[in-house]
């Protein structure tokens, strides 16, 4: 069964690996890291609200936004 997918995301994307690896590898929490972590948290909260209100495609949208969609089926 094909999962419900959001439309192909074409906006600015953020590398979750980049953010989280910098933190994991002991990068000093500079302004860019703090901002990125704040955005990640904001998007996680938004995803939870939308998902639990029935908009399950939001998970695909989130995975595309954070470049975690390498296994995404083709539209």
Tens digits of per-residue pLDDT, 34-68? 898 999 999 999 999 999 999 999 999 999 999 99
CB 65 within 8 A of CB 43: yes
Listed by start position, the domains of the chain span 29-75
pLDDT(24) > 90: no
Average pLDDT over residues 4-16: 89
- pTM value is 0.81
CB 57 within 8 A of CB 5: yes
């Amino acid at each position: 069964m094909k999962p419900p997918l959001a439309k192909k995301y074409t906006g600015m994307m953020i590398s979750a690996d980049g953010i989280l690896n910098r933190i994991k590898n002991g990068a000093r929490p500079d302004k860019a890291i703090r901002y990125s972590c704040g955005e990640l948290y904001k998007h996680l909260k938004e995803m939870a609200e939308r998902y639990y209100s029935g908009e399950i495609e939001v998970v695909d949208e989130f995975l595309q936004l954070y470049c975690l969609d390498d296994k995404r089926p083709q539209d």
